[in-house]
Structure 1
Amino acid sequence: MKQVKLICLQSGKEYSTSLPLWCSEEGGLLDLHFSAQFPLDKISSRPKTLWRYWEAIPIEHPSSVVSLSEGATPMHDIEIDGRTLKVKIEYMNPTGSFKDRGSSVLVSKLKEWGVSRVVEDSSGNAGASLAAYCAKAGIACDIFVPASTSPAKITQIKLYGAKVHLVKGSREEVARAAYSFAQQYHYASHVWHPFFFQGTKTFAYEICEQLRWQAPDSVVVPAGSGSLLIGCYLGFRDLKQAGIIQKMPKLIGVQAKNCAPLYEAFIRGDAFIRPCHAKKTIAEGMAISNPLRGTQMLQYIELSKGKCIAVEEEEIIDMLKILARKGYFVEPTCAAVIAGARRYLAEDAQADEVVVSALTSTGLKAVDSIQKITH
C-alpha cells in the first residue's frame, strides 16, 4: 500500500487520503507527501504514457486509472537566435495542453474516492481537460470560465458533456463563483487540489528520462496559477531524493508583463504576492493577478536558484509568428513562455547550458484571437 498523506500548508496538520479532501478543515491549501519510487527497468518496459511511472504516482489501484494515453510527449530542439532550446511538445496531449497530466491523476483519484460530481474554474485549458477526463470516468462536471474565454475552448468543454458557467469579470471572480458552488460539490480545482500536481510533476520525469536520466540546467515554464511550475519542482525533487538525478534545475517562471504579480514580487525580493493591477493580455492562460499558490511558487523558484521573467505583448506576438514559421502553431500563452525562454537564453544562460521549455497548448484553441493579433 502506498503511504500518502495530506498536510495543510498553514497549520501543518496532517490528513489521511482516505477521505475526498481538497482543502484542510481551516480552509487552507493542502500539499501531498509521498515517497516516489523509480524502478527504471520496469519504467522502460511499460507503455509510453505518464502511467509508466506508477510507483511515483499516489493512486492505489490500477483499476482506478482514468487515461487517454497522456504524457510521453516528444522533445524537440529548436533554434532561437542561434541558441538551442529543447521543448516538450505538450500540445500533443489528448485535449491539446499539458493540463491532461494533472487531470488524469486527479480524476483517477476522484474515481477511487467514488466522487460523482465536481466543480472547476479555468481560463479554458484546465476546464477542457478536466471535462474530458470526467467524461471518460462518468463523473458529472461543472466548469466556470470567464465570459471572454476563447469560443473554441468553450465549445470543447461543452462537447465533453460538462455544464459551462460563463462569469463576467476577472479570473479571480470566476474562481470565487466556482468556490461558492463547490460548497455543494467536490472542488476539482487545478490550483487547490494537491492530486493535480501529482500529474503535472511527470513532465519533470519525462524530461530527465529523455535526457538519459540526467537533469537539465534550467526549465522555463509558465507562472500563472503554477500548475506546471509547482509540478516541475515536485517532480525534480522526487528524482533527486530517489538518487536518480544529482541536481535541481533552475526553474524560470514566465509571466506576461501586463499581469505579472509573481515577477513583481520577485523583483522586490518579497516572499509573498501582492495582487497586481492587471492590464489586458493576449496570454489569457496566465492572466492571474493574485495566484493562490503564489508564495509557494516564489519559494520553489528561490530553492531552485531560478528567476522570474515578464514579457511584453509585442514579444509574445513576435514569438507566436516565429514558432509558426518553424511549424509550431501555439496559443499566445504558450508563445509567452517561449518568449521568456528567448530572453533567458540571451541574458542569463551560459553558452553550454541545457535549457528545456514547453509548447504548452495548441493554437487551435485560440484561432479567433490569433487571427486578430496577427492580421
Structure 2
Amino acid sequence: MINYLCHVCDKTFRVDAIRYKCECGSPLNLTQSEMCFPIEEIASRDNNLWRYREALPIASEASIVSLNEGMTPLVSTSSSVCDHRLKLDFVFPTGSYKDRGASILLSKAREAGIREVVEDSSGNAGAAIAAYSAKAGIDCTIYCPSTTSSGKLTQISMYGAKLKLIEGSRAHTTQAVLQATGTTFYASHNWNPFFLEGTKTLAFEIAEQLGWKAPDGVICPVGFGSIYLGLYIGFKQLHDQRVITKIPRLLGVQSVACCPIYQAYRDNQPQIEKMALEYNTLAEGIISELPVRSQMIMEAINSTDGAFTVVSEEDIEDGIKILARQGIYVEPTSAVVVKAFDHFVQTEVIRYDDLIVSVLTGSGLKATDKLTKMLSM
C-alpha cells in the first residue's frame, strides 16, 4: 500500500483526500514499493506516459484520466560543443509538460472520489489541472497572479474552471488558495506528491528514447522544482531497477530576478533561503521565492552532482529568438535553457564528450502577449 511519507520527520500517513502536508508543516512524498515495469514490452504499448503503468501509483484502470499525453519528441541540435538534444516537452494537449503531473494527480482524485479541487499557479499548471479536471468531470477553481499571461488565463477559463486573480506576488496567490484547502482537495503541483509521479515519466521517456541509457546531464528551468524533482525521482527509480547505469547530472536554471536555489548552490549553503522577487521577469513560470520542497531539491543537487546557473532578461530574449529560428516556438520560461547551456559549457560543467538533454517546457502560444510586446520593443 502506498502511504504519505514526510521527507523531514519520517512520519507516515495514509493517503487522505484533504491532507497535503505533514503535521510538522513539510511537504509529503509517497512511500514506494519496488518499481518494476517490463522493459521488453514497453515499445509495443500505447505511445503515451501510461506505457509505464506499473511504475505509476494508480490502482484502478477505470480511474485513469488521460488525453494521450507523453512521448514528446527528442530532437538533435547542431551544437559543435557536444551531443546536445532538445526534449520538446511542450508538445502536450495543454501546451506544457505540466500535463504529465495533471494526468496522474487527477487520476488519483477520481480514484479517491473527489468532486472538487483547487490549485494555485502562474498559468501552465493551472491550465493542466483545469483541463484534466474537465476530462474527469471534477469541479475546479484556479488561483493565479493578476500578472499571468492572458493566453493562459483564457485557456483556464475555457476549460470551465473558476478563475480567481490575486494581486501581489506569486506567494500571495498561494496564501489565498490555502484558505480554501481546509475542505477541498488541494491539487497542487508543488505540494501534492502525485504530481511528481507524473513528471518523473519525463526521465523514463528520455532514457527510453536514448535506448534505455541515461544522458550525462539534463538542463531544465526550475522554480518550485516539479520538473527537476520529477527527473530526480524518475532517474533514481531507473537506476535502482538497474535499467540505467548512472543518474545524470541535473542542471537547473533560474532567472536573476528570483534565484534562491542558485544562491544556495553558488554559496555552498546547506539550505535554500527565501529571496524576494527583485523585478518582473519574462520567465514567469519559474518565480519562486522559496520552493516548498527545498530540502529535496538540495538532496537532488548533491546526489546527482548537479549544478545551477542564472540567466538575465537579455539571455531569455536571445534564447527565444535562437530557438524560433530553428523552428521551435517556446514561451520565455522554456527559453532559459538556451543560454544556460552556454554558461554550463563556459564553466566546464558540460564537457565536449557529454550527451546533454535540454527540456523545453511550454509553448510560445502560451505567452503571445508577452512575445508580441518583446518584438515591438
Is TM more than 0.5 here? yes
Mapped contact 1:67–1:133 kept (Cα < 8 A): yes
SS in 1 for 2:329: coil
* 1:157 matches 2:156: yes
Cα gap change, 1:316/1:84 in structure 2, threshold over 3 Å: closer, same or farther?
Answer: farther
Pairing of 1:1-375 with structure 2 (within 5 A): 3-17=1-15, 21-34=19-32, 35-80=34-79, 83-279=82-278, 280-348=280-348, 349-375=350-376
- After TM superposition, give the deviation of residue 19 of structure 1 in Å: 5.3
| Residue deviations 1:161-209 (CA, integer Å, cap 9, x gap) | 0000000000011011111111221111000000000000000000000
Q: Distance in 2 between matches of 1:38 and 1:217?
A: 23
SS in 1 for 2:163: strand
Which ranges of structure 2 fall in alignment gaps of 5 or more residues?
A: none
SS in 2 for 1:355: strand
Give 1:358's aligned amino acid: V
- After TM superposition, give the deviation of residue 24 of structure 1 in Å: 2.5
- After TM superposition, give the deviation of residue 361 of structure 1 in Å: 0.4
Give 1:160's aligned amino acid: Y
- After TM superposition, give the deviation of residue 42 of structure 1 in Å: 2.1
Q: Distance in 2 between matches of 1:116 and 1:341?
A: 43
**What's the TM-score, normalizing by structure 1?**
0.97
Q: Distance in 2 between matches of 1:20 and 1:6?
A: 12
Mapped contact 2:7–2:296 kept (Cα < 8 A): no
Mapped contact 1:38–1:242 kept (Cα < 8 A): no
| Residue deviations 1:331-361 (CA, integer Å, cap 9, x gap) | 0000012321232234321111000011110
SS in 2 for 1:366: helix
Mapped contact 2:221–2:254 kept (Cα < 8 A): yes
Q: Distance in 1 between matches of 2:334 and 2:226?
A: 14
| Residue deviations 1:92-111 (CA, integer Å, cap 9, x gap) | 11100000000000000000
- After TM superposition, give the deviation of residue 258 of structure 1 in Å: 1.2
Mapped contact 2:49–2:100 kept (Cα < 8 A): yes
Q: Distance in 1 between matches of 2:269 and 2:307?
A: 13
Give 2:298's aligned amino acid: L
Mapped contact 1:80–1:342 kept (Cα < 8 A): no
Mapped contact 2:146–2:167 kept (Cα < 8 A): yes
Q: Distance in 2 between matches of 1:342 and 1:330?
A: 18
- After TM superposition, give the deviation of residue 82 of structure 1 in Å: 5.1
Number of aligned positions between the proteins: 373
Give 2:292's aligned amino acid: L
Mapped contact 2:255–2:283 kept (Cα < 8 A): yes
- After TM superposition, give the deviation of residue 273 of structure 1 in Å: 1.4
| Residue deviations 1:108-164 (CA, integer Å, cap 9, x gap) | 000000011011000000000000000000011010000000000000000000000
**What's the TM-score, normalizing by structure 2?**
0.96
Q: Percent identity?
A: 43
Q: Distance in 2 between matches of 1:247 and 1:82?
A: 22
